[in-house]
Structure 1
Amino acid sequence: MATFSVSQEGPVNALALNRDNNQVAIGGRNVFKVYSIEDDCFKEICNLRASKHLNLSFSCNDVAWSLIDDHYLATAATNGHVCVWNLTKSGKAMQEQDYQEHKRTVNKVNFHASEPNRLISGSQDGTMRYFDIRTKSAVAIFYSNTESVRDVQFSPHAPATFAAVSENGNVQIWDVRRHDKYQQQFTAHSGPVFACDWHPDTSWLATASRDKTIKVWDLGSSKTTLEYTIHTIASIGHIKWRPQRKYHIASCALVIDCSVNIWDVRRPYIPFAAFNEHKDIPSGVVWRGDPQIFLSTGRDCTLYQHAFRDATRPANKANPQGISLNNHGEIIFAYRIPINNTFSKQPGLIRLKSLSSIGDPLIANVKSSNTISNDQFHQASSAIHQFNIVTCQDQHSFYDLAKNYILTGRSFSEICEHNSSIAKEYGKNNVSIVWRIIKIMYGDEFYPSPANTPLTNNNDKCFLKIVGYPNDYVSEDQRSKGGDVSGSKYIGDETEVDRDLVDYVGGFNGFSVYNNFRFGLPKGDFSFGENELDNELDALSLDYRNSLQNSQQLGQQQQDWTLPNEAFNLRHEISDRSPPPENLQNHYSPDINDECLQPVQYDDQVPGLLTVSKTVEKCLWDPSNTVVDALKYHATMGDIQTAACVLIVLGDRRKHLKTLDDVTQEQWLLGYLDMLHRYQLWNVATQVIKISWLPSVNCLNQQSTRINTNCSQCAKPLQRTGWLCDRCHTSEHSLCSVCHQVVKGLYAWCQGCSHGGHLKHMQEWIAAKKVCPTGCGHQCEYR
């Protein structure tokens, strides 16, 4: 089946299908025709408005076709007439019955599903009338006690039951055998109800209203329950359940929306399918007994047959991304994620888990079928995250910390220690620990210091005496060599180390502060005081220079530094009967023949000192990544003050934070400045701007530094100077309004009237009076 249409002479208000679904009758103010439905077109059978005897009874507000006898049509006219038409006759005789019992417009007519001669109508006069088309008058009248009845529908499950909906939002269930009282009544909507439709398979009744909702009610039990609610963009005028699809219903809007929408009641916000062929508001829809084909009419003077395969899917165009902000500043953000192709009983339905805890990101549980058909939703998937406002610190703590923090002017360790104490004093223990950790990582006691006087040696080696190891680090071999091993220090033999290590440490002569950080040792391994350590190292340096000078003076002179082999004379020569080393099975010994441990002889080597040709490099831990992570954590939690202040105090040490880009640093500084301005901490903000290392922040003090003042006589802006007006050429602006003397110090003026004077005089005047001292009448205010 394909989609096709036929045009009419005027707008079409309603349509109805015969029992075999092969003919359609349409009606309107100027249209009343019957068409046969072919494979690809509509073929006109008869035009009932071609008669010469036309009256208002031919103006159709609604049309119904008997489900038992194909010969009978019923129409509802705007003049209150209910007409029954016999298609087997011709001319004026076709109008077999003309009931004129309603006082106002008839909105709806409906044939009984099992009794061919029974017909019911609902009118704007608030009554429903039950007709037997074989008689000349209504057999029963039902009074709704409402302003108007917009729709009446016989129930397919109970032949004697029909539903009526009214403009007051109520739904009434009636029994045709009892016309004095309805069986049930309930309020369905907050506005007028325009249409209703019984589900063909279950005891559901769908209602459509001006309140832009379609509601599905379960009337099968003793208590009516609301099963589903569909939210639309416009008031709904017509609805019709889709056959063989339990959850699908078609709707037509009264205004705005020109589409015929098919809804799945389980997904109440996005239509399952939409048909956009109509150019004006559609006025009716009816299914041809096949869930894939239906007919519709509209105010655009057309009759359409729609094939479901030609439908558009609004869900395909729906954006699975979105954001929502509530009045508390909390944000819910949804974004697209890959589709999970696991099978689900309800394919394509998005089911979101409830937000069980604040701040936890929850992901939508989305299931989709492996095969995609016309009866499936668009396979979309989203994840939802909720972000709430985290107040890391209150107003008073931020203000006090900003006022008492030290950012410059002292050594790095003193600043960190001071700021740590301040943070702890105001209850910020976590921030206090951060400052202490920063001190440990980058403090003067641990941070590498440059070499002041590097040791020069042509052979790229130098000598260090083992100084400062506690007893736990002194081996028995070192103790046996002599030296003081008592107390907390040990002075042993000098050790020759590689020059690269000495340069890395900072030079021998410039080794004023022992850098444990350089050697990878913990802080407490040495207990020298500063003076004692300096004296010890100076002595070592002096001994080394003296020994070097003596060796140069001796030149080629050879001195005997060797000791006798034995302490007494041998009686006879000791014969060595052991085999030569090369005859041994395991003559190779790594401990003896290892090349790296063989002493290396240098030309200017000082005798008697232990030499080491190679040293083992120790991998130093780089704390920069940890510092960056800590600062980002505090910034994310809302503590922008800690992140910005630590960056400022680090100074040149920031160059080691290679993973922290300048954009992030700028955002932290600007955020901190914004908060300082909110708390009116102008001096602290100025200090932060002044010591900033980023040009974009440092230049903020150069903006808006000009204050324009006006002349107190002519009220014109002072262009060149603040005391002489170029327009009136008066210099009275520089005179004090109280003492009338020239102001040579601080000058205060009112921005409203431009009068001012000495700061002290203006303070005293405003404290006692509110009017300007010049008598201009302006209410001055001093801030």
Structure 2
Amino acid sequence: MPMFKTPFNGYSVKFSPFYENQLAVATAQNFGILGNGRVHILQLSPNGPISELAAFDTADGVYDVCWSEAHDSLVIAASGDGSVKLYDISLPPTNNPIRSFQEHTREVHSVDYNTVRKDSFLSASWDDTVKLWTVDRNASVRTFKEHAYCVYSAAWNPRHADIFASASGDCTTRIWDVREPGSTMILPAHEFEILTCDWNKYDDCIIATASVDKSIKVWDIRNYRVPIAVLNGHGYAVRKVRFSPHRASAMVSCSYDMTVCMWDYMVEDALIGRYDHHTEFAVGVDMSVLVEGLLASTGWDELVYVWQHGMDPRAP
């Protein structure tokens, strides 16, 4: 299956919601500690290698990317300098970014676009805050500040335009309604830092969290005293978890143990696939909305892989 080599360390990969053959990749020099970054827009060819449609250089590392849900050429990037940048891939690099949002005081670690209200997106930062933005305003609409440590991830509910979740190093996941003054629920989900969260695409009350403690937990927010599933199988911190857009009980995760895992949290032997193609930390993973079973991952080995679930990512 196809593979692409980036000049910097991979941090995040996202399939386009409009084109089944496009994906965006966030990268950072020197493992994101110091140096530049680059946003890659990649294109899959039917029978050949991955090609680069566009690339945008940044003065600091890029930790996450997301696609606009309203315009097929717009990509949002989370930067290590505290900025959030908006790129139009139909324009040349010299005309980009078309907007830079500069309010966070530390690294922006996560961006997520609202799939229901298609003009707004979230940014989560190491300054302990989440910010709500719209693409047409230079200033944020609102800042959410309750977490006591870095916010590593923020994710919109796929069915409710006003509801999102945030995952933090303070060991909590918070549920927010942007119409309310504060968070509406606090999940003390793990005893160690929570690095990622994601909502089930078929049940708007189901959320997954993953942590430095190596586990993934699945919660029903209607009764969150105990998780409905605990998934163990990674050997180190779980960096990202994503629910399948095609199967209600399936999800994919990646970890500092250099593996990508596929899970079905409704069955007893929940681990249904393990891929060990990366040779450094695997930190970015995504599942295509348009092609069932199509996966992409990236990691600190500077490689981006795209493959079909059940196949070997390294197979030609």
Please confirm whether the aligned pair reaches a TM-score higher than 0.5, indicating the same fold: yes
Count of residue pairs the alignment pairs up: 300
Unpaired runs of at least 5, structure 1: 313-783
Closer, same or farther in 2 for the Cα pair 1:155/1:265, shift >3 Å?
same
Report the counterpart of residue 306 of structure 1 in structure 2: 307
TM superposition shift of 1:157: 2.2
Report the counterpart of residue 139 of structure 1 in structure 2: 141
The answer on whether the counterparts of 1:25 and 1:63 sit within 8 Å (CA) in structure 2 is: yes
Report the counterpart of residue 108 of structure 1 in structure 2: 110
Closer, same or farther in 2 for the Cα pair 1:222/1:274, shift >3 Å?
closer
Report the counterpart of residue 27 of structure 1 in structure 2: 26
Amino acid at match of 1:10: F
The answer on whether the counterparts of 1:68 and 1:115 sit within 8 Å (CA) in structure 2 is: no
How far, CA to CA, are the matches of 1:128 and 1:82 in structure 2? 12
The answer on whether the counterparts of 1:230 and 1:269 sit within 8 Å (CA) in structure 2 is: no
Is 2:288 the counterpart of 1:288? yes
Q: Identify the structure with the greater helix proportion.
A: 1
Amino acid at match of 1:35: L
Amino acid at match of 2:54: C
Report the counterpart of residue 246 of structure 1 in structure 2: 248
TM superposition shift of 1:249: 1.5
Match for residue 54 of structure 2 among 46, 51, 55 = 46
SS at match of 1:309: coil
How far, CA to CA, are the matches of 2:113 and 2:266 in structure 1? 31
The answer on whether the counterparts of 2:114 and 2:121 sit within 8 Å (CA) in structure 1 is: yes
Report the counterpart of residue 277 of structure 1 in structure 2: 277
Report the counterpart of residue 55 of structure 1 in structure 2: 59
**C-alpha deviations, 1:692-723, integer Å up to 9, x for none?**
xxxxxxxxxxxxxxxxxxxxxxxxxxxxxxxx
Structure 1-normalised TM-score? 0.37
TM superposition shift of 1:264: 2.3
How far, CA to CA, are the matches of 1:115 and 1:96 in structure 2? 21
Map residues 210-609 of structure 1 onto 2, 5 A cutoff: 210-219=212-221, 221=222, 225-232=226-233, 233-254=235-256, 257-266=257-266, 271-289=271-289, 290-310=291-311
The answer on whether the counterparts of 1:19 and 1:68 sit within 8 Å (CA) in structure 2 is: no
The answer on whether the counterparts of 1:160 and 1:175 sit within 8 Å (CA) in structure 2 is: yes
TM superposition shift of 1:269: 6.6
TM superposition shift of 1:222: 6.1
Amino acid at match of 1:157: R
**C-alpha deviations, 1:406-448, integer Å up to 9, x for none?**
xxxxxxxxxxxxxxxxxxxxxxxxxxxxxxxxxxxxxxxxxxx
The answer on whether the counterparts of 1:78 and 1:106 sit within 8 Å (CA) in structure 2 is: yes
SS at match of 1:310: coil
Match for residue 99 of structure 1 among 92, 98, 101 = 101
Report the counterpart of residue 85 of structure 2 in structure 1: 83
Map residues 757-776 of structure 1 onto 2, 5 A cutoff: none
TM superposition shift of 1:31: 3.2
Structure 2-normalised TM-score? 0.89
How far, CA to CA, are the matches of 2:292 and 2:298 in structure 1? 18
TM superposition shift of 1:275: 1.6
Amino acid at match of 1:18: S
The answer on whether the counterparts of 1:88 and 1:94 sit within 8 Å (CA) in structure 2 is: no
Closer, same or farther in 2 for the Cα pair 1:271/1:223, shift >3 Å?
closer
Match for residue 14 of structure 1 among 12, 16, 35 = 12
Amino acid at match of 1:37: L
Amino acid at match of 1:25: A
The answer on whether the counterparts of 2:147 and 2:168 sit within 8 Å (CA) in structure 1 is: no
The answer on whether the counterparts of 2:121 and 2:132 sit within 8 Å (CA) in structure 1 is: yes
SS at match of 2:286: strand
Closer, same or farther in 2 for the Cα pair 1:244/1:224, shift >3 Å?
farther
SS at match of 2:248: coil
Match for residue 36 of structure 1 among 10, 23, 43 = 43
Unpaired runs of at least 5, structure 2: 29-36
The one of the two structures with greater contact order (alpha-carbon pairs below 8 A, sep at least 6) is: 2
TM superposition shift of 1:276: 2.1
How far, CA to CA, are the matches of 2:194 and 2:268 in structure 1? 19
The answer on whether the counterparts of 1:196 and 1:205 sit within 8 Å (CA) in structure 2 is: yes
The answer on whether the counterparts of 2:25 and 2:65 sit within 8 Å (CA) in structure 1 is: yes
Amino acid at match of 2:194: V
Which one has a bigger Cα radius of gyration? 1
SS at match of 2:310: helix
TM superposition shift of 1:224: 5.6
Q: Aligned-residue CA RMSD in angstroms? A: 1.9
The answer on whether the counterparts of 1:147 and 1:168 sit within 8 Å (CA) in structure 2 is: yes
SS at match of 2:9: coil
- Give the 4+ runs in structure 1 shifted more than 6 A: none
The answer on whether the counterparts of 1:69 and 1:116 sit within 8 Å (CA) in structure 2 is: no
TM superposition shift of 1:258: 1.7
Amino acid at match of 1:26: V
Q: Identify the structure with the greater strand proportion.
A: 2
**C-alpha deviations, 1:586-629, integer Å up to 9, x for none?**
xxxxxxxxxxxxxxxxxxxxxxxxxxxxxxxxxxxxxxxxxxxx
